Structure 1
């Protein structure tokens, strides 16, 4: 029975976490550039674990009942996504986007931590997916099932971010070509702007 709840948590989490978004795009980019990958992945996992746990504990229902908080998250998140999207589109036309291991080599661990915290905590989709949605589903599980559901969701996050961050280097030969970086940056930029538009129209 315990295993069933864990698998359910993993399955639900996988369906949400694998969608293209600012966080996944950032982890992929850091992995490709081989910059502070361990730090980036660790912060993503810790944030995911805390948000999922908060949701299962009942915080999701509280946030969902406060229209002001939801509105702030929507407008603030949209502004952040627009900034991130424009930044990526500008990078697509700059020389920095053409080097797989260059351009941002001077980034310190502090800046790397702030960057991943930004794409994680300033994106309202993260809260909607983890705290609200996973929290609501997990909270509905009987008895101790909600805790095992949370364990499964967090386990999936660990597997996903480790694979995305450290597996990105397998794509390094592809991104040795200048056009690959232009395509990646352009794709990330367009996706971020679409997400922002969806937030504003939602």
Structure 2
């Protein structure tokens, strides 16, 4: 029964994580740049662990009854994504993204980490997927089975973020071409802009 519950949790978590989103777009780009990979994967995974555990523990119901909190995150996230979209659009226009990835760049460590935290904790969709959705899907389970389900979902998060940060290097030959970076920046700008506008015009469920 442990395996069945864990597999269900894993597939559920993977289904919610493996999609085009602002956080994944940021993580993929940093993976291509080879900047602070462990820190980024750790921040995203640990944040998911905290949020998923909160959802499993029933925090989703509490937050659902406090809509003002979600609204604050909604508008803060929209502003953050709009700023990121403009920055990416500027990089795409001028073609000034870093074209020679390095293993570490300590001068940008603080900026990268703060941006990663922003994409994680100022993204209302993260709360909807991890706290509300996974929390709701865990309701049929009880006792230890609920946490076996959670273990599967947590594993999916760790596997996913480790894969796109460290696995992005497989795409590096393509990104030796500076135009590829400009296309990526343009796609990131479009993605961030889309989610920013969506947050502003579409009320969260």
Instruction: Report the Cα distance in structure 2 between the residues aligned to 1:73 and 1:140, rounded to whole angstroms.
Output: 29
Normalising by the residue count of structure 2, what TM-score does the alignment of the two structures yield? 0.91
Q: Residue 144 of structure 1 corresponds to which residue in structure 2?
A: 144
Query: Given that residues 57 and 139 in structure 1 are in contact (C-alpha distance below 8 angstroms), is that contact kept between their aligned partners in structure 2?
Result: no
How far apart are 1:98 and its partner, in Å? 5.6
Within-5 A mapping of 1:1-202: 1-97=1-97, 99-101=99-101, 105=105, 107-202=107-202
- What are the ranges of 5 or more consecutive residues in structure 2 without an aligned counterpart? none
Query: Given that residues 33 and 101 in structure 2 are in contact (C-alpha distance below 8 angstroms), is that contact kept between their aligned partners in structure 1?
Result: yes
How far apart are 1:140 and its partner, in Å? 3.4
- What are the ranges of 5 or more consecutive residues in structure 1 without an aligned counterpart? none
Instruction: Report the Cα distance in structure 2 between the residues aligned to 1:39 and 1:195, rounded to whole angstroms.
Output: 25
Q: Which runs of 4+ in 1 moved over 4 A?
A: none
Deviation per CA, 1:168-201: give whole Å up to 9, x if none: 0110010111111111111111111111222222
Calculate the aligned-residue CA RMSD, in Å.
Answer: 1.7
How far apart are 1:70 and its partner, in Å? 2.0
Normalising by the residue count of structure 1, what TM-score does the alignment of the two structures yield? 0.93
Number of aligned residue pairs: 201
Instruction: Report the Cα distance in structure 1 between the residues aligned to 2:142 and 2:62, rounded to whole angstroms.
Output: 20
